[in-house]
Amino acid sequence: MKKILILLITLLTVAVQAQKRPEWLKKAVFYQIYPSSFQDIDGNGIGDIKGTLSRLDYIQSIGVNTVWFNPLFKSAFQDGGYDVIDYYLVDPRFGTNTDLVEFIKDAHKRGMRVILDLVAGHSSDQSEWFKQSKEADNNLHYSDYYIWAQVKPNDLPPQEASKWVEANAPRAKYYVKNFYNSQPALNYGYANPNPNHPWEQSIDASGPQAVRRELQNIILFWMEKGVDGFRVDMAASLIKNDPDKSATIALWKKLTAWFDKKFPEGVLIAEWFNPTQAIEGGFDIDFYLSGSLFSSRGRGTQTPSRVYFDKAGTGDFATWYKTYIGHYESTAGKGYVSVPTGNHDNPRIATATRNDGPQLKVAMTFLLTLPGAPFIYYGDEIGLKFIPNLPSIEGSNVRSGERTPMQWDNTQNAGFSTAPIEKIYIQQDPDPNRPTVANQDKDPSSLLNFVRALLAFRAKSEALGNDGEFKMIGDINEPYPLIYMRTKGNEKYIIGLNPSDKPVEAEITTLNSVRVKYSFGTNEKCSYKPGKTVDKIKIPSVSAAIFKVQ
């Protein structure tokens, strides 16, 4: 009996350790800031750290408690900061390392946390690492930080072949990139080195091992300055020739185990877009994008008839949901699948055709009542619009439309900067009626105040919180209205959504509840009527409701 008890205790301990996350993540709400576009304080037309610090009261007022900065490190800005020259130095456009440390200290005084973007898979071709690696002497410290070959291989699939860049460097003629040509891939090795490809080093070779140590040094450097964790860019891209990502998962298991032991209150967030794999690798959070629910083609050129959150009411929800629920169920209790309101690489939820308060409130109700930690992309809380057809800025291409500067008030450049308009980082929304923080702050019915109220409502509920359970109880193939349940212990909420311009109703198997009460939403005419065999839910056009089951 004693041996059985010891075994049970051991198994329970292992299970708890496997599921351990920082306690603060249970209440974490993230706010993503693209620093060049948030607030300029020195008048050069580009946002900076001190500008963001001046807006920390506002950020906290939304109901968020964690700030995530897109890359702040010294960069060549060929890809908006994702081409890093020096991982240990804040880029001068944003300020100094001291400015960042002061920001972190101020945030911590408020009970807030700060996450940095970590570009782990590649650097800038202007970094000292790459410059040294290009030299003919291949015994230098950084020589094997990158992947070099004298001859471009002719036996690779097209996608892999496209990653070879001609450099004609003293070291060799070609190198491997990760995204743009200016972003040479760091060498974490190959999962299955091809003996006919002498440049394919094993994951245990000295070069890949040195790169891993460098990554750990970068993490140590910033964590010791008070940072609370990292969002890791292209986390799945590290090890090459790894089609099932098993070697990359194994690498991250080692790195996250090291990180968790050294920084038990630190958080690691993956940009993997495969939560099942990312959380198996030890990450606390991975993203699953809303994608087709808001845009059928990913860049704001939408086909309204197929977009779920459109007034036409003929969109597809089932395709998105079937993949989402698979990731949610495979990671429940281990890590979070988070669906952000938007980000720097994808169109905003507010567009030319979806920009009024009721539509955006319904969208936000959905995004902020899902399980996992909420992520709000700066400006989404006021309905900052995706602006199509803007010029490419620092490699943004079509992504300029979701990176436009924040709109604070009705002063020059919407309060973003005092610089001449031609020097503003990216053109702002030209609409004279564009949304601003100042206008919405004083309007009780605004989107901003709705988001504040919704986050406050969520914060008081374990069922609606990050760890609350999720269950779809409506028909995903007839998703108008969309009906799902959030529960924790005896606490239960039903969420009903109708983005369409027609009133809708649905029947679900009865919950056998004495009472279901409308507790929060956009329209008090939303109704829930319990019955003996079925419960009936009615949601007016473009409305959302949260019902408390009592």
Which CATH number covers residue 491? Answer: 2.60.40.1180
Residue that is last in its domain, among 459, 492, 526: 459
* Residues 431 and 473 grouped into a single domain: no
Q: CA angle at residue 536 from 535 to 537, to 5 degrees? A: 125
pLDDT band of residue 342 (cuts 50, 70, 90) is very high
* Residues 383 and 517 grouped into a single domain: no
Indicate if the pLDDT at residue 542 is higher than 60. Answer: yes
Question: How buried is residue 178: exposed, middle or buried, by Cβ count under 10 Å (0-12/13-18/19+)?
Answer: buried
- From the list 413, 437, 439, the residue with the least C-alpha distance to 424 is 413
Please answer whether residues 229 and 21 qualify as being in contact, where contact means their C-beta atoms are separated by less than 8 angstroms: no
Dist CA 114 CA 105 (whole Å) = 10
Q: Is residue 508 part of a domain?
A: yes
Strand, coil or helix: 210:
helix
Residue that is last in its domain, among 459, 490, 508: 459
* Residues 410 and 317 grouped into a single domain: yes
Please answer whether residues 547 and 528 qualify as being in contact, where contact means their C-beta atoms are separated by less than 8 angstroms: yes
The helix or strand, by DSSP H or E, that contains position 507, with its residue range, turns out to be strand 504-509
- pLDDT for 11 equals 38
User: For 527, what's the count of Cα atoms within 13 Å in the CB-facing half-sphere?
Assistant: 9
* Residues 478 and 362 grouped into a single domain: no
Q: Are strands 527-529 and 73-75 parallel, antiparallel or unpaired?
A: unpaired
User: How many structural domains is the chain composed of?
Assistant: 2
Q: Is residue 206 part of a domain?
A: no
* Residues 48 and 103 grouped into a single domain: yes
- pLDDT for 296 equals 64
For residues 28-58, b (16+ Cβ closer than 10 Å) or e, as one string? bbbbbbbbbbbbbbeeebbbbbbbbbebbee
Q: Is residue 505 part of a domain?
A: yes
Count other Cβ atoms within 10 Å, centred on residue 1. Answer: 5
pTM of the model: 0.94
DSSP class of residue 228 equals: -
Could you tell me the CATH number of the domain that includes residue 309? 3.20.20.80
Indicate if the pLDDT at residue 9 is higher than 60. Answer: no
* Residues 425 and 480 grouped into a single domain: no
Q: Is residue 198 part of a domain?
A: no
Indicate if the pLDDT at residue 14 is higher than 80. Answer: no
* Residues 444 and 485 grouped into a single domain: no
Q: What is the pLDDT of residues 260-319, one digit of tens each?
A: 999 999 999 999 999 999 999 999 999 999 988 998 654 444 444 479 999 999 999 999
Indicate if the pLDDT at residue 340 is higher than 50. Answer: yes
Q: CA angle at residue 149 from 143 to 152, to 5 degrees? A: 155
Backbone angles phi, psi at 109, to 5 degrees: -60, -30
Q: Is residue 204 part of a domain?
A: no
3-state percent breakdown (helix, strand, coil) of the chain, nearest 5: 30, 20, 50
* Residues 517 and 538 grouped into a single domain: yes
Strand, coil or helix: 192:
coil
Residue 324 is part of which domain span?
2-120+227-459
Please answer whether residues 165 and 125 qualify as being in contact, where contact means their C-beta atoms are separated by less than 8 angstroms: no
The helix or strand, by DSSP H or E, that contains position 212, with its residue range, turns out to be helix 206-223
The helix or strand, by DSSP H or E, that contains position 496, with its residue range, turns out to be strand 491-498
* Residues 244 and 372 grouped into a single domain: yes
Q: Is residue 304 part of a domain?
A: yes
Q: What is the pLDDT of residues 505-529, one digit of tens each?
A: 999 999 987 799 999 999 999 999 9
* Residues 350 and 420 grouped into a single domain: yes
For residues 128-142, b (16+ Cβ closer than 10 Å) or e, as one string? ebbebbbeeeeeeeb
Indicate if the pLDDT at residue 15 is higher than 50. Answer: no
* Residues 507 and 366 grouped into a single domain: no
Indicate if the pLDDT at residue 144 is higher than 50. Answer: yes
* Residues 341 and 453 grouped into a single domain: yes
DSSP labels, 23-77? GGGGG--EEEE-GGGT--SSSSSS--HHHHHHTHHHHHHHT--EEEESP-EEE--
The pLDDT > 70 percentage for the chain reads: 95
Q: Is residue 190 part of a domain?
A: no
Q: Is residue 195 part of a domain?
A: no
Residue that is last in its domain, among 435, 459, 483: 459
